[in-house]
Amino acid sequence: MAHIALFHSVYGLRAVEHAAADRFRAAGHEVVTPDLYAGAIATTIDGGFALKDRIGWEVIVERARDAVGRMSAGTVLAGVSMGAGVVGELLADRRDTAGLLLLHGITEIPASARTALPVQLHVADPDMFAPPAAVADWEKAAKSVGAAVQVFTYPGVGHFYTDASLRDHDAEAADRTWRRSLDFLRHL
Protein backbone atom coordinates (compact mmCIF):
# COMPACT_ATOMS: atom_id res chain seq x y z
CA MET A 1 0.00 0.00 0.00
CA ALA A 2 1.25 3.44 -0.92
CA HIS A 3 0.58 6.77 0.74
CA ILE A 4 -0.16 9.26 -2.02
CA ALA A 5 -0.49 13.05 -2.18
CA LEU A 6 -2.36 13.88 -5.40
CA PHE A 7 -2.12 17.52 -6.51
CA HIS A 8 -4.76 18.98 -8.80
CA SER A 9 -4.55 20.74 -12.14
CA VAL A 10 -4.79 24.45 -12.90
CA TYR A 11 -8.59 24.06 -12.91
CA GLY A 12 -8.59 23.39 -9.16
CA LEU A 13 -9.62 20.34 -7.16
CA ARG A 14 -12.43 18.77 -9.16
CA ALA A 15 -14.23 15.49 -9.76
CA VAL A 16 -11.42 14.11 -11.94
CA GLU A 17 -8.92 14.23 -9.06
CA HIS A 18 -11.46 12.84 -6.61
CA ALA A 19 -12.20 9.98 -9.02
CA ALA A 20 -8.48 9.23 -9.41
CA ALA A 21 -8.07 9.22 -5.62
CA ASP A 22 -11.07 6.88 -5.27
CA ARG A 23 -9.57 4.56 -7.88
CA PHE A 24 -6.30 4.44 -5.95
CA ARG A 25 -8.13 3.93 -2.63
CA ALA A 26 -10.09 1.03 -4.11
CA ALA A 27 -6.72 -0.60 -4.83
CA GLY A 28 -5.77 -0.25 -1.14
CA HIS A 29 -3.76 2.97 -1.19
CA GLU A 30 -4.16 5.93 1.16
CA VAL A 31 -4.66 9.17 -0.76
CA VAL A 32 -4.96 12.83 0.13
CA THR A 33 -6.06 15.46 -2.38
CA PRO A 34 -4.96 18.85 -1.05
CA ASP A 35 -7.07 21.77 -2.24
CA LEU A 36 -4.40 24.26 -3.25
CA TYR A 37 -7.03 26.80 -4.36
CA ALA A 38 -9.04 26.74 -1.10
CA GLY A 39 -12.28 25.79 -2.84
CA ALA A 40 -11.98 27.88 -6.01
CA ILE A 41 -12.55 26.07 -9.31
CA ALA A 42 -12.19 27.26 -12.89
CA THR A 43 -14.41 26.13 -15.74
CA THR A 44 -11.92 26.92 -18.52
CA ILE A 45 -8.19 26.53 -18.84
CA ASP A 46 -7.76 30.29 -19.24
CA GLY A 47 -9.82 30.77 -16.09
CA GLY A 48 -7.58 28.24 -14.37
CA PHE A 49 -4.43 30.15 -15.26
CA ALA A 50 -6.04 33.38 -14.09
CA LEU A 51 -6.99 31.70 -10.82
CA LYS A 52 -3.46 30.32 -10.37
CA ASP A 53 -1.99 33.75 -10.99
CA ARG A 54 -4.45 35.43 -8.61
CA ILE A 55 -3.63 32.97 -5.80
CA GLY A 56 0.10 33.04 -6.59
CA TRP A 57 2.54 30.20 -7.11
CA GLU A 58 4.22 30.77 -3.74
CA VAL A 59 0.90 30.36 -1.90
CA ILE A 60 0.05 27.25 -3.92
CA VAL A 61 3.40 25.64 -3.12
CA GLU A 62 3.17 26.60 0.56
CA ARG A 63 -0.27 24.98 0.78
CA ALA A 64 1.19 21.86 -0.80
CA ARG A 65 4.09 21.82 1.67
CA ASP A 66 1.64 22.16 4.56
CA ALA A 67 -0.41 19.25 3.20
CA VAL A 68 2.53 16.85 2.92
CA GLY A 69 4.19 18.06 6.11
CA ARG A 70 2.05 15.65 8.12
CA MET A 71 2.65 12.73 5.75
CA SER A 72 5.38 10.10 5.88
CA ALA A 73 8.65 10.85 4.12
CA GLY A 74 7.96 7.91 1.78
CA THR A 75 4.77 9.41 0.38
CA VAL A 76 4.24 9.12 -3.38
CA LEU A 77 3.92 12.56 -4.92
CA ALA A 78 1.41 12.64 -7.77
CA GLY A 79 0.47 15.62 -9.89
CA VAL A 80 -2.11 16.33 -12.55
CA SER A 81 -0.87 18.87 -15.11
CA MET A 82 -0.04 21.93 -12.96
CA GLY A 83 0.15 19.49 -10.05
CA ALA A 84 3.27 18.00 -11.66
CA GLY A 85 4.95 21.39 -11.18
CA VAL A 86 3.88 21.34 -7.54
CA VAL A 87 5.47 17.90 -7.18
CA GLY A 88 8.73 19.30 -8.54
CA GLU A 89 8.69 22.09 -5.97
CA LEU A 90 8.28 19.59 -3.11
CA LEU A 91 10.74 16.97 -4.28
CA ALA A 92 13.93 18.80 -3.30
CA ASP A 93 12.87 18.70 0.37
CA ARG A 94 11.50 15.13 0.29
CA ARG A 95 14.47 12.93 -0.60
CA ASP A 96 12.74 9.79 0.71
CA THR A 97 9.75 10.14 -1.62
CA ALA A 98 8.65 6.64 -2.68
CA GLY A 99 7.93 7.68 -6.25
CA LEU A 100 6.49 10.28 -8.60
CA LEU A 101 3.37 9.84 -10.67
CA LEU A 102 3.08 12.63 -13.25
CA LEU A 103 -0.12 12.97 -15.26
CA HIS A 104 -0.35 15.47 -18.11
CA GLY A 105 2.77 17.38 -17.11
CA ILE A 106 6.50 17.24 -16.56
CA THR A 107 8.66 18.72 -13.83
CA GLU A 108 12.36 18.94 -13.15
CA ILE A 109 13.85 16.10 -11.12
CA PRO A 110 16.56 17.74 -8.97
CA ALA A 111 20.03 16.24 -8.70
CA SER A 112 19.31 15.81 -4.96
CA ALA A 113 16.60 13.22 -5.70
CA ARG A 114 17.45 9.78 -4.41
CA THR A 115 19.10 7.35 -6.79
CA ALA A 116 16.66 5.14 -8.72
CA LEU A 117 13.64 7.25 -7.73
CA PRO A 118 10.71 5.60 -9.54
CA VAL A 119 8.99 8.10 -11.85
CA GLN A 120 6.09 7.41 -14.17
CA LEU A 121 4.91 10.00 -16.70
CA HIS A 122 1.69 9.97 -18.77
CA VAL A 123 1.24 12.65 -21.46
CA ALA A 124 -0.60 13.24 -24.70
CA ASP A 125 1.44 13.11 -27.90
CA PRO A 126 1.66 15.82 -28.91
CA ASP A 127 0.82 17.89 -25.85
CA MET A 128 0.80 21.68 -25.98
CA PHE A 129 2.19 21.92 -22.44
CA ALA A 130 4.68 19.06 -22.78
CA PRO A 131 5.70 18.89 -26.45
CA PRO A 132 7.50 15.72 -27.60
CA ALA A 133 10.91 17.43 -27.70
CA ALA A 134 10.42 18.72 -24.13
CA VAL A 135 9.39 15.25 -22.96
CA ALA A 136 12.49 13.71 -24.60
CA ASP A 137 14.73 16.33 -22.96
CA TRP A 138 12.95 15.80 -19.62
CA GLU A 139 13.43 12.03 -19.82
CA LYS A 140 17.14 12.42 -20.61
CA ALA A 141 17.63 14.89 -17.73
CA ALA A 142 15.69 12.72 -15.26
CA LYS A 143 17.74 9.66 -16.17
CA SER A 144 20.96 11.69 -15.90
CA VAL A 145 20.23 12.32 -12.19
CA GLY A 146 19.54 8.62 -11.65
CA ALA A 147 15.73 8.48 -11.73
CA ALA A 148 14.10 5.23 -12.87
CA VAL A 149 11.81 6.72 -15.50
CA GLN A 150 8.87 5.25 -17.37
CA VAL A 151 7.29 7.46 -20.05
CA PHE A 152 3.92 6.67 -21.58
CA THR A 153 2.65 8.83 -24.43
CA TYR A 154 -0.82 8.69 -25.89
CA PRO A 155 -0.94 9.70 -29.56
CA GLY A 156 -3.81 11.76 -30.86
CA VAL A 157 -5.46 12.61 -27.54
CA GLY A 158 -5.93 16.01 -25.90
CA HIS A 159 -3.82 17.38 -23.05
CA PHE A 160 -6.20 16.42 -20.23
CA TYR A 161 -7.46 13.16 -21.76
CA THR A 162 -8.30 11.53 -18.40
CA ASP A 163 -10.98 14.13 -17.59
CA ALA A 164 -14.37 12.89 -18.82
CA SER A 165 -15.83 16.40 -18.42
CA LEU A 166 -13.54 17.94 -21.06
CA ARG A 167 -13.37 17.68 -24.85
CA ASP A 168 -9.83 16.28 -24.46
CA HIS A 169 -11.20 13.09 -22.91
CA ASP A 170 -10.23 9.77 -24.45
CA ALA A 171 -11.72 6.79 -22.57
CA GLU A 172 -9.28 4.23 -23.94
CA ALA A 173 -6.17 6.29 -23.18
CA ALA A 174 -7.54 7.16 -19.74
CA ASP A 175 -8.17 3.49 -18.96
CA ARG A 176 -4.60 2.58 -19.99
CA THR A 177 -3.26 5.43 -17.86
CA TRP A 178 -5.13 4.28 -14.76
CA ARG A 179 -4.11 0.61 -15.25
CA ARG A 180 -0.46 1.58 -15.72
CA SER A 181 -0.59 3.96 -12.74
CA LEU A 182 -2.04 1.27 -10.47
CA ASP A 183 0.63 -1.17 -11.61
CA PHE A 184 3.31 1.45 -10.87
CA LEU A 185 1.93 2.03 -7.36
CA ARG A 186 1.63 -1.70 -6.71
CA HIS A 187 5.34 -2.19 -7.41
CA LEU A 188 6.68 0.62 -5.21
Q: Determine the length of the chain.
A: 188
Q: What is the DSSP letter of 188?
A: -
Res. 22: pLDDT tops 90 = yes
pLDDT, tens digit, 9 for 90 and up, residues 41-63:
999 999 999 999 999 999 999 99
pLDDT, tens digit, 9 for 90 and up, residues 74-125:
999 999 999 999 999 999 899 899 999 999 999 999 998 999 999 999 999 9
Res. 39: pLDDT tops 90 = yes
Spatial separation of the C-alpha atoms in residues 6 and 35, rounded to whole Å? 10
**Residues ≥6 apart with Cβ < 8 Å to 168:** 124, 157, 158, 159, 160, 161
Provide the pLDDT for residue 97.
Answer: 95
What is the average pLDDT value for the chain, to the nearest integer? 96
Average pLDDT over residues 32-38: 98
Provide the pLDDT for residue 92.
Answer: 87
**Per-residue confidence at 176, pLDDT binned at 50, 70, 90?**
very high
Strands (DSSP E) contained in 20-106 are 30-32, 76-80, 100-103
Spatial separation of the C-alpha atoms in residues 17 and 20, rounded to whole Å? 5
Query: Nearest to residue 120, comparing CAs of 105, 137, 110?
Result: 105
